Amino acid sequence: MAVYLVALPLVAAAMALLAPSNRWRPWLLPLGSGAHLYLVVEVLRAPTPETGANEWLVIDPLGKVFLLSLGVLHFLCMLYAPGYLALRPERSNRVLCTCMMFSLSMMSLVVLSHHLGLMWVAVEATTLASAPSLYFNHNPRSLQATWKYLLICSVGIALALLGSLFLAYSALHADLRTTLLFEDLVGEASQLSVPWLRAAFVLLFVGYGTKMGLAPMHTWKPDAYGEAPGLVGALLAGGVTSCSFFAILRAYHITAAAGEGEFAQRIMVFMGLLSMATAAAFMIRQGDFKRLLAYSSVEHMGILVLGVGIGGKTGILASLLHVINNAMTKGVLFLSAGNIHRAYGSRLARDVHGAIRSLPLSGSLFLAGFLAGCGSPPFGPFVSEFSVLVAALESGRYMVAALFLLAMLVVFIGMGLTVLAVVFGKPTHPSSEVPFPDGISTGAPIVGFMAIVLMMGIYIPQPLVALLDDAVAFLQLGVSS
């Protein structure tokens, strides 16, 4: 089944590349993504398979959580794609459609890889798959954003490669057989050379943290998210960055199993708070609402690593839950922001007012997405962010809890100033004069995202709770106390 999860999107990507019709090609996206989501559901229903030391592709409890999040995110974005691309008939969509499906294949490969070298290749492939999509608008700004994304992420991925080599050498230095298989590294973690292991974790964290967009390695995000189409931004912010976080969790698991979990957690707490503080600072008086979403992503990446850094079952569970909540919320924000940008022809708050009257659906969803992203009840992110706070208080980290709340407050104020200016006020364009009004094809997928975000704040289905509990137990399995 693991091979099919990688191969099926590859076949869909090849079909999109070869399809001759610019009009009908986009419909391959929801079909291919829907088939992939069906396979994911079948995987979730099946018992977790036994893992062998020689297996490179394994579906483990942690991978199931990320597969579910990626599958739902990608499918809803692909439902949005045909309607969006129908509004852009002047632009060939061959490259974009191909990259969308290739990216899904590589994101699945990241999650399924139990060889850290193969995982590194897959993470790098997600970079290469996303870059052409950033250039979809074919203007100087999108070209600059594409090159910035490639160069900065390539530096990060190079550091991650060096970290993988250091990890292998930590085994060799301890007279163990050199291996990058995940099960071997966790099983032999207590025998790894501690100095080389620590150096490996730092390099892996910084390397994959660059791709994740943690501050101060986040500098590619504002340009990339600002210039990318909304559906590409949603996949980057909720999918590709989640894969990078997944890679960091693999490194953390090995480090914690070696008894160096406290070392890793100190780094993660510091970097998590730094990312939140950086995002809060840049959100104040941010006039570009698409770049605003980039800094929102920086903040939420900080929350992800902060939860794991705080540790304990509550902290890790909060982070894994936030992976799903963040992905769904980013789907709401990026797709609705894309609709507003297209209708007004500008992404600057000074040019866009009264979106809730000109575009009732997109404007309302953008406002709701803002409230959800800032951790307001009754939405899903409130549950996961509140759980991070509870984990900090339970562990006696009162200063961390205070700084967390302060950053959240500044983010709410900074983001609110821009979002409220865009949504309310006298409409820049009357609804009758909006060139691209709300439609079912570009509105229904956002409603789907919003429904999930709301459900996750009111009631988390029991199968998902069991899935998250299994993932937490898996991360804590073999970890030295």
Residue range 200-206: mean pLDDT, rounded = 97
pLDDT at 266: 96
Neighbours of 207 (CB within 10 A): 28
Distance from C-alpha of 181 to C-alpha of 199, rounded to nearest angstrom: 19
Fill in the DSSP letter of residue 258. Answer: T
Average pLDDT, the chain: 92
Question: For the chain, what is the domain count?
Answer: 1
Residue range 386-410: mean pLDDT, rounded = 96
Neighbours of 369 (CB within 10 A): 28
In one letter, which amino acid is 33? Answer: S
pLDDT (tens digit, 9 = 90+) per residue, 64-113?
999 999 999 999 999 999 999 999 888 899 999 999 999 999 999 999 99
pLDDT at 481: 45
pLDDT at 141: 92
The band of 356, judged by pLDDT with boundaries at 50, 70 and 90, is very high
Structural domain including 62 reads 2-476
pLDDT at 268: 97
Q: Is residue 481 part of a domain?
A: no
Find the farthest-apart pair of alpha carbons in the chain and give their distance in angstroms, rounded: 74
Distance from C-alpha of 117 to C-alpha of 110, rounded to nearest angstrom: 10
* Confidence check: pLDDT of 419 > 50: yes
Q: Assign 368 to helix, strand or coil.
A: helix
The answer to whether the CB of 111 falls within 8 A of the CB of 71 is no
Q: Is residue 134 part of a domain?
A: yes
pLDDT at 381: 97
Residue range 266-286: mean pLDDT, rounded = 95
The string over 304-317, giving b where at least 16 C-beta atoms fall within 10 Å of a residue's C-beta and e elsewhere, is: bbbbbbbbbebbbb
Q: Is residue 457 part of a domain?
A: yes
Distance from C-alpha of 369 to C-alpha of 363, rounded to nearest angstrom: 10
CA dihedral 337, 133, 70, 409 (to 10 degrees): -40
Q: Is residue 66 part of a domain?
A: yes
Look at the chain and count its residues. Answer: 481
Please state whether the peptide bond connecting residue 378 to the residue before it is cis, i.e. omega within 30 degrees of 0. Answer: yes
Distance from C-alpha of 433 to C-alpha of 358, rounded to nearest angstrom: 9
pLDDT (tens digit, 9 = 90+) per residue, 291-347?
999 999 999 999 999 999 999 999 999 999 999 999 999 999 999 999 999 999 889
Q: Is residue 389 part of a domain?
A: yes
pLDDT at 99: 96
In one letter, which amino acid is 329? Answer: T
Q: Is residue 408 part of a domain?
A: yes
